[in-house]
Structure 1
């Protein structure tokens, strides 16, 4: 009786516990679920919030160099450089022209200085330089003079036989054509040992 009673009591106890568990399980299954409530396996996410694999980006922010669809960097075009015109060669105006003359009969060569606008006679020729230009030593040599050459004929008349430019670097380019005498430009000078015409007249 006591054993049965204990068994009976034990059976009632188990039955009561089972019934209580069944009621709790039923209540859990029948509990309403909020459609928007997160489950224990899903964290709540705000609309528009960045994921853990995507960093937030501000509108208009530049992308990294090399990103597709975006230029690497803004490169300003080279400024237009105006072409620089080469400097014109400088000419030095000289007051004295140096000539060389040859007497074809004797073969004698004479060097003589002539001031600008002065007339010097060499044999039967009268030589008058009008201008004499040279270049600085830093530039390519180019010495030229505008010269007038007259011939004194046997009947004592003066005849113009040459008018033009003589070039010291190319003496044969514009040569004085005469049967006995040749004259060519040797150079231009700033001063000469020969007295200037005005000084000679004063003396």
Structure 2
């Protein structure tokens, strides 16, 4: 079996009955890197909230984390808009794999760090 077929079988098989129970956080901490200035900033957002950062507007749909491990792998639904209100990113970001679903922007990198818990 080829490596690609084996990887697909493992991923698809794991997704069928391997879902880990999760809790919904009250918000998330996102890290923003300005690639031009080198500035790094952490932004705390509540679920359904948003905040301007430079030329972007960050919006958080929700953040989820493993039920058994609140400090574990967080994943958040994030929307990023530019100054012209054009959506430049919309999707789930995963703390342990920021490159899996990354914002593609010439100036900024944004990724999720962790969920906020009650």
Q: Please, which of 186, 199, 203 is the counterpart of residue 113 of structure 2?
A: 186
- Worse-matched range after superposition: 89-98 or 131-140: 131-140
Distance in 1 between the 2:88 and 2:58 partners? 11
1:150 aligns with 2:77: no
- TM-score (ref. length: structure 2): 0.78
CA drift at 1:142: 2.8
Distance in 2 between the 1:140 and 1:102 partners? 23
List, as ranges, runs of 4+ consecutive aligned residues in structure 1 with deviation greater than 6 Å: none
Structure 1 residues not aligned, in runs of 5+: 1-85, 192-203
Larger relative contact order, structure 1 or 2 (CA cutoff 8 Å, min sep 6):
2
Matched with 1:22 is: none
Structure 2 residues not aligned, in runs of 5+: 1-16
Q: Please, which of 17, 28, 37 is the counterpart of residue 97 of structure 1?
A: 28
SS of corresponding position for 1:158: coil
Structure whose alpha-carbon radius of gyration is higher: 1
The aligned length equals: 102
CA drift at 1:113: 0.3
Query: Could you say what the CA RMSD is over the residues aligned between the two structures, in angstroms?
Result: 2.2
